[in-house]
Amino acid sequence: MAKQLNILFVSSEVDPFAKTGGLADVCSALPHMVKEMGQEVRVMMPRYGSISDRKFMIHNVIRLKEIPIPVGKEEKLTSINSSFIATIKTKVQVYFLSNKEYFNRDGLYASNKTHVDFKDNDERFIFFCRGVLETLKRLGWQPDIIHCNDWQTGLIPAYMKTIYANDPFYKNIKTIFTIHNLAYQGNFPESTLAKTGLPKELYNDDGVKFKNQFSFIKAGIAFADMVTTVSDQYAKEISSSKEFGYGFEEFIKKKKINLTGILNGINYNVWNPEIDPLISKRFNSKSIEGKLGNKIEVLERFGLESNYNVPLFGMISRLVPLKGIELIEKIADKFLKHDVRFVILGSGEKKYQSIFEKLQKKYKNKVGFINAFDEELAHLVEAGCDVYLMPSECEPCGLNQMYSLRYGTIPIVRSTGGLDDTIRDVKKPNGTGFKFEKFDANELLVSIERALKLYKNKTQWQKIMRNGMSENLSWEASAKKYISLYRKLI
């Protein structure tokens, strides 16, 4: 029998404790599945002020108090709290690194009010990365693999190859660095290097320097023992294309980075219309009638005219660049001249918020917009809509198109990253959605009109719904691939 592996997942957000997007979902579901498959798994994340002690039964770890963490010329202290994320089958221990100065704020990376990044994000995540390694040694638990996720954890592989390289405790630990979205890089002024404590000679084009800045994500890519990303197509895109690689494509080629694409899955314990407690009517692929009850409630919740025979389009998104919102703005009048309903749930940048507010005002009986992040309402939108819009300019993996398939909501997507890997166009056998190639408003409109035409054929429409609902999108296949990579490394 193969040796049980010790795996430490490190992430700046983990559902249900702290979440801004798909990273939190992945860093909750994947550890569970890896543990279900017989490995020992633990998780570390920051202790944000928004995390409730009472709700999550968080407790202090007495022997892990006031651990000194070097940040520049100062030492900051962290104390460790603990809790669990649990499913019916597994329970995974989570350690929180606390420091009120750095983490007791009204947002994870930026102010919830102004949406402006915190100026000391470099210090905050220097503290976190080095704090993870200092905590591990005092904990006395030695992982085989530290699985780091996105730029906020990018310094851990660099520290392991330099400052901690000769310490026997860390000697046999390997690191994997997963890029969830290369658009978010953690780039800071050159002066950040001195705060990290890393050797000065690392500040070069083969190390942590990127466009004359200190780059957290480049540190992760350059120094991890293995680099992964969240879909096969996205791995190809970021290693070959300036559009998606943001300048890193040349570095990946030059350094011959061992880059592997592993598609994310979805958590069937959470996203499953047969058992979902957050929707009005439960249903499955054999009995899809219950979907109508959810559609009725979505229309009511968004204050729209309740014509249940009219196709209902939905979108759940962070209101940020790359999500294709400008494409929707360009074709909105042509789209909304049809007899449709369109609901949007999301929060983010004011300019995108304004786009949907104006559409809601202009088409008050057709368009509903709720400016919020609401997990419960997100489940209802996925369950109640007929069509899901995801016209992203870039989408490393995407989860909402997979949630949509699971709930019989047919996606319209651009062929990029994980959207391309997970959706088959209806023109192909066993098609599951509508795809368009170019990031172009007219191509999106053509896809919408294809969907509207097909919607009239109820038999064909329900066949496509069932095709999507029968897809195997669970974490099981992905977890097996990760475990295989872990074993390959050690």
Q: What is the pLDDT of residues 133-190, one digit of tens each?
A: 999 999 999 999 999 999 999 999 999 999 999 999 999 999 999 999 999 999 999 9
> Comparing C-alpha atoms, which of 376, 361, 246 is closest to residue 301?
376
Instruction: Name the band, by pLDDT with cuts 50, 70 and 90, for residue 456.
Output: very high
430: left (phi over 0), alpha (psi -120 to 50) or beta: left
Tens-place pLDDT, residues 420-437: 999 999 999 999 999 999
CATH classification (class only), 288-469: alpha beta
Query: Average pLDDT, whole number, for the chain?
Result: 95
**Predicted pLDDT of residue 129:** 98
Q: For 131, how many CA atoms within 13 A lie in the half-sphere containing its CB?
A: 34
The fold for domain 6-265+475-489 equals Rossmann fold (3.40.50)
Q: Average pLDDT, stretch 385-395? A: 97
Count Cβ atoms within 10 A of the Cβ of residue 79 and give its class: 0-12 exposed, 13-18 middle, 19 or more buried.
Answer: middle
Measured CA to CA in angstroms, residue 312 lies from 8, 343, 375, 396 at distances of 42, 8, 19, 26
DSSP-assigned letter for residue 152: G
Contact (Cβ atoms closer than 8 angstroms) between residue 335 and residue 445 = yes
- Give the start-to-end residue ranges of the domains of the chain: 6-265+475-489, 288-469
**Predicted pLDDT of residue 288:** 94
Tens-place pLDDT, residues 241-266: 888 999 899 898 877 777 999 999 99
Measured CA to CA in angstroms, residue 366 lies from 333, 363, 408, 449 at distances of 12, 5, 22, 17
Nearest-angstrom CA–CA distance, 389 and 423: 13
Least confident range of 214-228, 231-245, 383-397: 231-245
Count Cβ atoms within 10 A of the Cβ of residue 381 and give its class: 0-12 exposed, 13-18 middle, 19 or more buried.
Answer: buried
Q: Average pLDDT, stretch 463-467? A: 97
Least confident range of 42-46, 304-308, 311-315: 304-308
Nearest-angstrom CA–CA distance, 465 and 124: 45
> Comparing C-alpha atoms, which of 146, 130, 137 is closest to residue 31?
146
Q: Average pLDDT, stretch 389-393? A: 97
**Predicted pLDDT of residue 343:** 98
Nearest-angstrom CA–CA distance, 184 and 216: 10
Tens-place pLDDT, residues 196-209: 999 999 999 999 99
Least confident range of 84-88, 289-293, 299-303: 84-88
**Predicted pLDDT of residue 21:** 84
**Predicted pLDDT of residue 308:** 86
More confident residue, 373 or 26: 26
Indicate whether 23 pLDDT > 90.
Answer: yes
**Predicted pLDDT of residue 1:** 67
- The vertex-195 CA angle with 101 and 118, nearest 5°, equals 45
pTM of the model: 0.90
> Residues of the chain with pLDDT > 70: what percent?
100
**Predicted pLDDT of residue 241:** 86
Q: Average pLDDT, stretch 356-370? A: 97
Instruction: Name the band, by pLDDT with cuts 50, 70 and 90, for residue 64.
Output: very high
Alpha-carbon dihedral sign for residues 272, 57, 30, 77: positive
